[in-house]
Amino acid sequence: MPKATLCDNPSVSLYERLERELTDARRRRDELGLSTLSLLKSEVVRATKEPGAGAADDALVVRVAQRELKRREEAATAFRGGGRMASAEKEEQEAELIRAYLPAALTDQELEQELRAVIAEVKPEGPQGFGHVMKAATARLAGRAEGGRIAATVKRLLA
């Protein structure tokens, strides 16, 4: 499990935290942590090599972690549907480790409050301004709310 001291230190980047926790997992001989964090790190490194990606900053680590989390959740669902409970549990444990690299999700109330602020800034002209609000909202709420939740709330607020 990730150490609280690393999670609470804002001066440590997510990539540095990933490297430290990977080293800790190796020292503890934690096979699940080692395999999950190794894969996450390799996916982050691969993402840095894509055109226009840049360095392994926090935003890149969050994007990769979101993608890997979604893969684990989909795999767990598929395994459960196929009756492979042990595999599903392993995927869920991996998802829990990856979730530690994502910012806390917004509650519905917090999401609505943030979106009201975005709408006040953008000042859209009715439902036609949906695209402008979504562009500003997804940039502002990156990693803290899923696009589908943002879109549904924006539609409701603009109606």
Give the residue with greater pLDDT, 68 vs 10: 68
Residues 39 and 112 both lie in one domain: no
Shared domain for 77 and 113, answered yes or no, is: no
Rounded to whole angstroms, how far apart are CA atoms 14 and 56? 9
Instruction: Tell me phi and psi for residue 77, to 5 degrees.
Output: -65, -45
Q: Which CATH number is 154's domain given? A: 1.10.10
Shared domain for 12 and 62, answered yes or no, is yes
The Cα–Cα gap between 28 and 97 comes to 15
Which residue, 69, 99, 129, sits at the end of a domain? Answer: 99
DSSP characters for 119-137?
Answer: HHHH---GGGGHHHHHHHH
What CATH number has the domain bearing residue 84?
A: 1.10.1510
Tally of domains within the chain = 2
Q: What is the pLDDT of residue 9?
A: 57
> Residue 4 above 70 pLDDT?
no
DSSP assignment letter at 3 = -
123/126: higher pLDDT: 123
**Across all residues in the chain, what is the average pLDDT?**
84
Range of the domain at 142: 108-158
The per-residue pLDDT for 1 is 42
pTM of the predicted model as reported, rounded to 2 decimal places = 0.69
Q: CB-based contacts of 42: which residues, under 8 Å, 6+ apart?
A: none
